[in-house]
Structure 1
Amino acid sequence: MSASGSRELRVLGLFDHAGMGRDQRRERGAERIAGPYRVDLLAAHGIDLVTVPPARAALHLKLRDVAEHRSGVAQDLALRGARHAFRADAVLCLLEDKAVLPAALRRRRIPPYARPPIVAVSCWWAEEILHGSDEQRRRIARTARALDAIVVFSQNQAEAFARIGVADKVVPVPFGVDEAWYTPAEPVRPRLQVAAMGIDRGRDYLTLVDAARLTPEIRYDLFTQPERFAEIPLPPNVAVHAPVPMPAHRDNLRAADLVIVPTYDLAYPTGQSVLLEAMACGRCTAVTRTAAMAEYLDDGRSNLALPLHDPEGVARVVRRAIGDPGLRHRVGDAARAEVETRLTFDRTWARVAEVLREVAGRGERLR
């Protein structure tokens, strides 16, 4: 039984991880073995999360890669998880590619995925629906129609899914951060004035570099792939560094006077991880204002809003923040409070646990 007194729900989790099965948890005791986005926290909300060990043997990896490359479909986890699916109350796919084969088998009523409800966590489908090819939209629609729920991390995405007729399946859930790991700390040396981090395609570093040219008195440290700037001449106040391990990343967040997250306007909330990590560290953070980021942005209170594709406007925000330590302190304190109040991974997975119970309950009533 869960802490709430309801029956523990057995859920097959299909996702890439570094080893978070129950045996490893027993062996390693209290040491945290975190799944992606801290999905392991589902266990605190009455979910018995059964996972598939990652492929490790060289031959296994080679056969998997060949099969998945030729078919264009992620197969390995779903096939090896089939024996667990027979006894699962629900299946959780994280992320979209893990849902394609289970959904296809369900459409064709092929056991074991024909029976348990299937929930997918989606990051990119909305963007592909809006800007992908007709064939991409058809493929997403086929998969989505076979799912019971699609968890997304911003409310605006429901409109995109409505275009393929599945808006009723979309469940927006606020994204979170591991607030026990990303915490405020004593000032870290050496200090960074403006720091930007991130390697995903949603980062608008071109606008940031142009803003840096307009603020030559301020130093910018960018942690991303250096090759992104191979064809871009950088001003002397911009330094580009390769991505760093997580402990060093946290140190960089804590060291920054201002963490800046410049993004393109995508359907999903690109940049939200760094935004929330910096906020959890109590740092003043600025992020581009987009529809996808609306529920994470409270301009002037817990973070600062950047104008989209506007170097002059970004430069104004940077100058204001760097020139006003009091503002940075107030925003940083409010940022940490906002994370603790509503933007933790524990709250994210508590809501997903509710979704899993809802779909499992519907499935039981239909059987």
Structure 2
Amino acid sequence: MHLVNFSELMGPDWRFPDPFCQIPGLSSECHVIAPGSRSWGLRLNSWAAARRAVRAARERSDAVLVSHLPGATLRVAALAGPGSRCGAGIRHIAFAFNFTDLPQGRKLRAYRAALSRVDEFVIFSNFERDLYARHFGLPPERFTYLPWAMEVPRTGEVEAPFDQPWLVALGGEGRDYATLMQAARLRPDLRLVVIARPYNLAGLELPPNVKAFANLPAASAWGLVGGAAGMLLPLREGRTPNGHITLVGAQLLGVPLAITDSLGVRDYVDPATALLLPPASPEALATAMERLATGGAGIREMALRAQDIARDRSAPSVWCDWLARL
């Protein structure tokens, strides 16, 4: 089996699967867009890279197309045509199929037409199976749940952002940082670091006890996480299927976690492994901030339980085992 991968986000050195995943008879190649593409150039380069991937797959009888994230899947499906379910097409797997906001209107119609051709969708939460099946008119059995898997994040050396213990919030998709800022105002005695994308904090006034960073190198971001007394992961609502990378990384580092009780993360957290909070509640977040910052009763034990579970559930070998079964 030969995997032909396409991603719009990864760089020229990207490999999938990771080199450690040695499966007899499995080979792969990766196609990405030209570095530095923007605006219409980005769109044109995305289509060009997708076309190269489809062309490469058609040259091999053992090829499996693997598109990473929905935008890449849309392009590959539109170009490749019907998948292997129709008998003559190339098998097409949509990996990391995840939306922060579901498409609507004309965009939805385009996705529905393209996605009907895809053989399998890999999702990172069971909640997304019925969500996407209903929205895109697809059979639920085409969706395969895999837990988000990763190595323990590499933490770089960082300068302490405060002269006292700090809490951290990391990530951009599906976050509710407006509520988090309200919570920080309720606890001016506590310190908070937010590592996000510029648009996450646009229009928000940061309290004096909050420091924000954008576009940090990964090692620096995880260094701030690893040194924190706890992580806060406020999601927009109780159905938000985002935050998987952030929460799993924190669990693997042994950092205590407080997170919105969302159906989209129920595969990763429960009351024994995280502080589960109602959505859009500054008061609940403020209370969680105090518990994490002071290392209240059971906080360390909670983090250790989460770490132990994550080491097995989210080990990179989980994806390798899935690939071996294809």
**TM bucket normalised to smaller:** 0.7 to 0.9
1:143 deviation in Å?
A: 1.5
Aligned twin of 2:12: 19
5+ residue gaps, structure 2, are none
Secondary structure class of the residue paired with 1:308: coil
Q: Are the structure 2 counterparts of residues 186 and 80 from structure 1 closer, same or farther at C-alpha, using a change threshold of 3 Å?
A: closer
1:205 deviation in Å?
A: 0.5
2:219 to 247, 253, 259: 247
Distance in 1 between the 2:11 and 2:192 partners? 34
1:48 deviation in Å?
A: 0.9
- Residue by residue, what CA displacement relative to the aligned partner does 1:326-362 show, whole Å, maximum 9, x if unpaired? 53321222222111121123313432443xx2xxxxx
Q: Which amino acid aligns with 2:72?
A: K
Are 1:193 and 2:166 matched, yes or no? yes
8 Å contact from structure 1 (residues 41, 346) kept in 2: no
Aligned twin of 1:136: 107
Aligned pairs for 1:94-173 within 5 A: 94-107=68-81, 115-125=89-99, 127-128=101-102, 132-163=103-134, 164-173=137-146
- Taking structure 1 as the reference length, what is the TM-score of the superposition? 0.75
Secondary structure class of the residue paired with 1:333: helix
Aligned twin of 1:48: 27
Q: Are the structure 2 counterparts of residues 53 and 68 from structure 1 closer, same or farther at C-alpha, using a change threshold of 3 Å?
A: closer
Are 1:270 and 2:242 matched, yes or no? yes
Distance in 1 between the 2:284 and 2:100 partners? 28
1:106 deviation in Å?
A: 4.0
8 Å contact from structure 2 (residues 98, 123) kept in 1: no
Q: Which amino acid aligns with 2:11?
A: A
Q: Are the structure 2 counterparts of residues 214 and 96 from structure 1 closer, same or farther at C-alpha, using a change threshold of 3 Å?
A: same
Indicate the larger mover: 224-233 or 132-141. 224-233
- Residue by residue, what CA displacement relative to the aligned partner does 1:117-147 show, whole Å, maximum 9, x if unpaired? 101124435841xxx3233332222112101
Instruction: Give the ranges of 4+ consecutive aligned residues of structure 1 lying more than 6 Å apart after TM superposition.
Output: 185-188
Secondary structure class of the residue paired with 2:229: strand
1:50 deviation in Å?
A: 1.6
**Alignment length, in residue pairs?**
315
1:306 deviation in Å?
A: 2.0
8 Å contact from structure 2 (residues 82, 117) kept in 1: no
2:191 to 207, 212, 219: 219
Secondary structure class of the residue paired with 2:182: helix
Aligned twin of 2:150: 177
2:43 to 64, 68, 71: 68
Q: Which amino acid aligns with 1:15?
A: S
User: Which one has a larger percent helix, Structure 1 or Structure 2?
Assistant: 1
Q: Are the structure 2 counterparts of residues 293 and 84 from structure 1 closer, same or farther at C-alpha, using a change threshold of 3 Å?
A: same
1:307 deviation in Å?
A: 1.6
5+ residue gaps, structure 1, are 1-8, 21-33, 358-367
1:86 deviation in Å?
A: 2.0
Q: Are the structure 2 counterparts of residues 147 and 353 from structure 1 closer, same or farther at C-alpha, using a change threshold of 3 Å?
A: farther
Secondary structure class of the residue paired with 1:171: strand
Indicate the RMSD between aligned Cα atoms, in angstroms.
3.1
Are 1:77 and 2:49 matched, yes or no? yes
1:192 deviation in Å?
A: 4.0
Secondary structure class of the residue paired with 1:151: strand
Q: Are the structure 2 counterparts of residues 83 and 350 from structure 1 closer, same or farther at C-alpha, using a change threshold of 3 Å?
A: same
8 Å contact from structure 1 (residues 99, 120) kept in 2: yes
Distance in 1 between the 2:239 and 2:302 partners? 27
Aligned twin of 1:306: 277
- Residue by residue, what CA displacement relative to the aligned partner does 1:152-202 show, whole Å, maximum 9, x if unpaired? 1111111123321332211111112212x448x9998566421111133x1
Distance in 2 between the 1:187 and 1:66 partners? 36
Indicate the larger mover: 257-266 or 221-230. 221-230
Secondary structure class of the residue paired with 1:79: helix
- Taking structure 2 as the reference length, what is the TM-score of the superposition? 0.84
1:74 deviation in Å?
A: 3.5
Looking at CA atoms only, which structure, 1 or 2, has the larger radius of gyration? 1
Aligned twin of 1:320: 291
